[in-house]
A = this chain, B = another copy of it.
Amino acid sequence: MDAARFLSCPEHSTRRQFLKTLSQGIGSAALAASAAPYVGRAALPDDETLGVALVGLGNYATGQLAPALQETTKCELTGIVTGTPSKAETWKKKYDIPEENVYNYETYDRIADNDNIDIIYVVLPNGMHAEYTIRAAEAGKHVLCEKPMATSVQECKDMIAACETAGVKLSVGYRLHFEPHHQRVMTLGQDEVFGPVTVMQNGFGFRIPDSATDEPHIEWRLNKEMAGGGALMDVGIYAIQGARYVTGEEPVAVTAQEYKTRPEVFSDVDETLFFQLEFPGGTVVDGSTTYNGSYNRLYATARDGWFEISPAYGYGGVEGRTHDGPMDFKSNVNQQARQMDAFAECIRHDRSPRVGGKEGLRDLEVIEAIYESIDAGNTRVEIG
């Protein structure tokens, strides 16, 4: 089936109907396999925004995504999914969300019938990403899923397949792809501006205080089923991502080590992990993550110089420098607003998202190899 024919169908007279039908059209196997871009997206009015529903109203949705959606220009917050009625009431008032766009986990699938929601942003605990992404796809909605994409490689594959089958676009919430310092180091590394990158040191960690282990946003992080893993799944993944987008390559092997200083707190998930990645071009990466201390840095040395982002991985306050001096980006951007607008633009113009499902899958492949190395006594494990 050729999706282009939808463009001239008279019944696609509204933007949302257009998108919905387009999604269904993309769902055909023939189309999913086609690399040919669609044409004629200019038919979509430029001043219309896509509707986003946030699924899971925890800290990140509340503190980052909802505020970011007040700054987006290509999409807007139109719906929410929450299991907590009091949260629903608060959000409805605060963000002027109509009752018909408020869902809970029983009514979630009915979003399929809601033309005011084009994108579902899955912000649930990691263990729920796969299910709610697949159900979003089945509802015909495009999906932005938070990182880690899922808790296993198999889940990632299932999610990608479900979105392909449904003909919806899938992106993973790697917000730093939309942050100028990170975009700069992608160029510096991939274009070998200072020669080939030889050694990287990427670390991200924060401390979970003993006193905070029963706070809601921490509690699920300590539960293997909900989180999929510990510091590695949560923040170490940034160090893996960083290594991959600086080199522009996929790691071929890894060694890893695990340490626990508070086994009573981290009985189910990892507290501190070191991992060492080998890339085919020769770059080696010294990676580190922890729930028992504070660090936040991407560093790369190359044949003819070095570059660094430190602090690297926060929502703001990112600072970068090279051997030549500071990276001079004037101000902090709203990473999440950029990310969501970029995804909306991909949908509007039917382009592949900058951060597709494979980005999430690749990181999970590395994560599984890291755990495999630890289980195998720290020995070298080949990836892929």
Residues of A participating in the B interface, judged by any CB pair closer than 8 Å: 198-199, 201, 203, 205, 207, 255, 257, 259, 261, 272, 274, 276, 278, 282, 284, 286, 288, 290, 292-295, 299, 301-303, 305-306, 323, 377-380
> Are B278 and A259 within 8 A (Cβ)?
yes
A210 to B203, CA, bound (A): 30
Q: Evaluate contact between B284 and A286: CB separation under 8 angstroms.
A: no
What's the nearest-Cβ distance from chain B to residue A286, in Å?
Answer: 5
Select from chain B the residue with minimum beta-carbon distance to A377: B379
Asked whether B301 lies within 8 Å of A199 as measured between CB atoms, the reply is no
Q: What would 26 A/B residue contacts be, using CB atoms closer than 8 Å?
A: A198-B207, A198-B261, A198-B272, A199-B205, A199-B272, A199-B288, A199-B292, A207-B303, A255-B255, A255-B257, A257-B380, A259-B284, A272-B284, A274-B276, A274-B284, A286-B288, A290-B301, A293-B301, A293-B302, A293-B303, A293-B306, A294-B301, A294-B305, A378-B378, A378-B379, A378-B380
Minimum distance in angstroms from A215 CB to a CB of chain B: 18
Please indicate the chain B residues that have their CB under 8 angstroms from the CB of A261 in the complex: 198, 282
Chain B neighbourhood of A259, CB < 8 A: 278, 284
Question: Given the interface contacts A203-B286, A205-B301, A286-B286, does A198 sit within 8 Å of B292 by beta carbon?
Answer: yes
- Kindly report which residue of chain B lies nearest to residue A278, judged by CB atoms: B259
Q: Pick from B255, B282, B294, B306: contact of A294, CB below 8 A.
A: B306
Contacts of A299 in B (CB 8 A): 295
**Least distance between A133 CB and chain B CB atoms (Å):** 33
Min CB distance A209 to B, Å, is: 9
**With the chains together, A207 CA to B301 CA distance in Å?**
10
User: Quick check: A199 and B293 within 8 Å, CB to CB?
Assistant: yes
Query: Please, how many angstroms separate the alpha-carbon atoms of A50 and B140 in the complex?
Result: 85
User: Which B residues lie within 8 Å of A286 (CB)?
Assistant: 203, 274, 286, 288
Q: Which residues of B contact A274 (CB under 8 A)?
A: 276, 284, 286
Is the pair B301, A306 in contact by a Cβ cutoff of 8 Å? Answer: no
A6 to B372 CA separation, bound complex (whole angstroms):
66
A378 lies within 8 A of B293 (CB): no
Q: Which residues of B contact A199 (CB under 8 A)?
A: 205, 272, 288, 290, 292-293, 295
Whole-angstrom distance between the Cβ of A199 and the nearest chain B Cβ: 4
Q: How far, in whole Å, are A282 and B201 apart by their CA atoms in the complex?
A: 22
How many angstroms from the CA of A292 to the CA of B276 in the assembled complex?
16
A203–B205 touching, CB < 8 Å: no
With A201-B203, A286-B288 given, can you name 8 additional A-B contacts, CB distance below 8 Å? A198-B207, A198-B290, A199-B293, A199-B295, A207-B303, A286-B286, A290-B301, A293-B303
